[in-house]
Amino acid sequence: MSKRDELYSSYVTFKAWEDAVETPDDSFDVEVARTGIEPPAAILEIGFGRGRFLLWARKHGYAVTGVDLIPELVDRASENGFAVFCGRPEDVPQLRSRKFDLIVAFDVFEHLSRDELVGLLRFLRQILEPSGKILARFPNGGSPFGLVYQHGDATHRTALGAAAVAQVAIAAGLTVLWVGNAARSMASGRHHWLAKRCAYLARDAIEMIVGNLYFQGRVPLDPNLTVVIGHDERRMPASETAELEAAK
């Protein structure tokens, strides 16, 4: 067993995912709305972990499928009635013949090397509908505030900022359609929603000040980034381009 496999063998314990109790996450509403993909679209979630997004997607009427590397998590999701597979997406034969309207990867990209990420995106391009989208969230490698998340997990391998993820997408024959701060949850938790709102306004002010001082415009500085990726019409075969236009 490699050192990497050893880390994943204890990952459920590290993440405290032994219990199946789920808490609401209002950020999924915001993130999925950014893609414009509505029910009953077919969604594939990569690295579904504890299953919070699987539950959200099923509740909102999507046809959701999942894939994860950890057998324990796959067994748990299967027992809860989800169509799930174990392994890397490109190694699951059942996925090769399917097409998805939306492919979701929350907190996944940072676990891959750059070569692995390009390979994954090339595979996802093959199973993505012409008008489909890829939605990903990952630690913000272009912000000092993303370092806590990026270096807080020994399985993380690659730090990605907005420009780097665009470069990786291009290498895979895709294009970034939108990139920005990850959705900010307003669920109360330990802090009152008004305190959270004030904190978010302060973040926005800091972004505008720092961006205009150093980067000639506002740049996302939150700990996590979200990116929406789609087909690059300029690099698609003529048949796929025609199909994409028909789908619009």
- pLDDT tens per residue across all 248 residues of the chain: 677 889 999 999 999 898 765 666 789 999 999 999 999 999 999 999 999 999 999 999 999 999 999 999 999 999 999 999 999 999 999 999 999 999 999 999 999 999 999 999 999 999 999 999 999 999 999 999 999 999 999 999 999 999 999 999 999 999 999 999 999 987 756 667 788 889 999 999 999 999 999 999 999 999 999 999 999 876 655 555 555 555 55
CA-wise closest residue to 162 among 239, 104, 208, 224: 224
Evaluate the omega torsion of the peptide bond into residue 40 and state whether it is cis, within 30 degrees of 0. Answer: yes
Side by side, the strands of the sheet bearing 83-86 are 83-86, 63-68, 42-46, 100-106, 128-139, 224-231, 174-181
pLDDT of residue 232: 84
What is the predicted pLDDT for the residue at 4? 81
CA neighbours closer than 13 Å in the CB half-sphere of residue 194: 0
The pLDDT of residue 235 = 63
Contact 133, 177 (CB under 8 A): yes
Q: How far apart are CA 29 and CA 59, in angstroms?
A: 12
